[in-house]
Structures are given as C-alpha cells and as structure tokens.
Structure 1
Amino acid sequence: MTTVDDAALELLRSRSGLSIDDEGRFLHLGEPITHARTLDVLWRSLARAPDGRWLVRVGRESAYVAVKETPYTVRGVLQERPDGAPVLLLSDGTREPLDPATLRLGEDGVLRCAVKGGERARFTRAGQVTLGFAIDEDPPGTGRYAITIGGTRWPIRADSR
C-alpha cells in the first residue's frame, strides 16, 4: 500500500480551488457552487484550522478554503425577538441575534459584527440596507452612527482594522 506524505497532502489541500467571496458565496475555481446539499455539507464542515486558515473536512478528506476577509456574511436582518434585538441571517444558513456592542463601520462604509463566538461577519448590501433602517446619525451631521435596541443606545464604532 502506497502512502502519500504529509507535504503532498498539504499541497493538495491548499490547491482545492475552494473559496468564499465577500458576498458569502462558496466558489470552486471562481464559479459559485449552487447545489444545495453540497453547500450544506461545506458550511457545516467549515472550521478554523490550527494555523488560522479556513478548512472544510468531509469524512477523511479535507481542503483549505481561501477567504479574503471572513466566510460569514449577514445576508438579511429580521426583527423576531420580543426584546426587539435584530436577528441576523448568516451566509451559512444560520440565524443569531446581533450583539450591538460588536457592530463596526469599516472605512469602506460596510458594517461588520461578531458572530459564532467572536468570528467576524461582513454585511452584504441587502443585510446592511435592512439594518440601516434602524441606524441613526448620532448626533445629526457628525458622520457618527448609533442603533437603539431594547431602549439602549449603542454607538457604532469605526472599524480600526
């Protein structure tokens, strides 16, 4: 039985052709993956490798996923909770409440927040427009913003990243 050495396996994993774009779409060799079951398997198996890269593992097979900023995007926002806290619709199909303390506005004008225990998520255009209805310039004319949730006013800080 022939075995492939670890360096060769690592090279194969890094050349998988898998990536996630800024809109939170899984791609293979630059083309969107559209098969629902395949996407479900990829999202459920996505995890951080010990070295910080993103990795999918299916059975005994694994492959690195090229990610520019973050794999997670906020595709939409719902007002489902009784306390008025927005619920985020994430690129992996999950939902979770917005932690307003983590909301940041990047130099590029795109909102970001923490999800999934501290991972960074980038808002898509649709997600940002939806949340934007709840955001106010505070105070008016300053270019600073805040969101009020459950009677608490949360400033939206500039992203230092």
Structure 2
Amino acid sequence: MPSAGFYAIEGHRIRFGRDGEWYSDGERIANRRIALLFSRCVCRGPNDDYLLQMGDERAPLEVEDTPFVVRQIDGDAERGFTLSLNDDTREALDPASLRSGRDNVLYCRVKGGEYEARLLRPAHYALAQWVRAEPDGGFVLRVGGRRHPIAPR
C-alpha cells in the first residue's frame, strides 16, 4: 500500500517565490494551510538544493530567492527584534547577519544561521526606522548599544 504524501504533487513544479507565496506549476497556492505545511517542510538537499520533506518522502523545491521570508518584525533597538517567519515561527534577529541586496532588499540568517530569509516590505519598513546612514554611504543598525554594519549581500 503506498504511503500518503507527495504523490499528489509528483510531476508538479513547486516553487517558493520571493514574495513569500507558494506556487504549483506557476499558479499561486491559495490554501493557507497547505502553504504553511510546505513552509514547515523545507529542508536543504544533499547538493545544497532545497526540498520539501514529509517523513521519508521528498520533493524538489525551486526557491526564487530565499527559502524563508520575514513577514513581521517586533521590538526596538534597546531590547532587540523578534522576527515572524512564513512558517509561523518567531525568533530573535541576529543583527550581525543583516545584509543588503539588490534594490536595498534586506536579508538575515534564520534557523540558527542555517538559512537566509528575505525581509518582506512590512518587515523591512518596520526595521528601517532603526537603521542609520553612515558617512561612508553604508548603513548600520544599533541594537542594545552595539553597532551592527549592514554588509552587502
């Protein structure tokens, strides 16, 4: 008897978009519970690729930019910041991991530094109020009295 799992998506192209949405064969997956399930099943494959894994079953995953996104940021420069990720987990921002990419998109490391996450616009704007420009043209985030330069990605 076959096990339940990825047979339903076998042959379909599953992609996680830079917008934080899930897609199957180019169509957005509108079911939030399926999207959340997929977000919780992301893992790194043996060739540094990405997979969806449920139990012993795996399916290839296309990642447009990063395998996780930051939907919201709470906190302040004194206490630090808490990230809300697309898999419904919350974790502390490691300010030393912040990077600035193309078009000033912000990125940080999540899941113990194992994965990179893209800050979606609401999270980006929430954090931007604490970011300061440096005389050399760079940017810095001060958290808990410590200075954290935002390096290029």
With the shorter chain as reference, the TM-score category is 0.7 to 0.9
Per the alignment, residue 79 of structure 2 pairs with 84
CA distance in structure 1 between the aligned counterparts of 2:124 and 2:36, rounded to whole angstroms: 24
The answer to whether the aligner puts 1:39 opposite 2:39 as a matched pair is no
Task: Report the RMSD for the aligned CA atoms in angstroms.
Answer: 2.2
Distance 1:39 1:107, change over 3 A: closer
Per the alignment, residue 106 of structure 1 pairs with 101
Contact in 2 for aligned 1:80/1:87 (Cα 8 Å): no
Q: Give TM-score scaled by structure 1 length.
A: 0.80
SS of 1:40's equivalent in the other structure is helix
Per the alignment, residue 153 of structure 1 pairs with 147
Which structure's CA Rg is the greater one?
Answer: 1
The answer to whether the aligner puts 1:19 opposite 2:15 as a matched pair is yes
CA distance in structure 1 between the aligned counterparts of 2:108 and 2:145, rounded to whole angstroms: 20
User: Could you tell which deviates more after superposition, 33-42 or 109-118?
Assistant: 33-42
Give the structure with the higher percent strand.
2
Amino acid of the residue matched to residue 101 of structure 1?
A: A
Per the alignment, residue 70 of structure 2 pairs with 74
Q: Give TM-score scaled by structure 2 length.
A: 0.83
Contact in 2 for aligned 1:22/1:68 (Cα 8 Å): yes
Per the alignment, residue 54 of structure 2 pairs with 58
Cα offsets for 1:101-154 (capped at 9, x unmatched): 111112331111111122111111221111001101123xx4211111111111
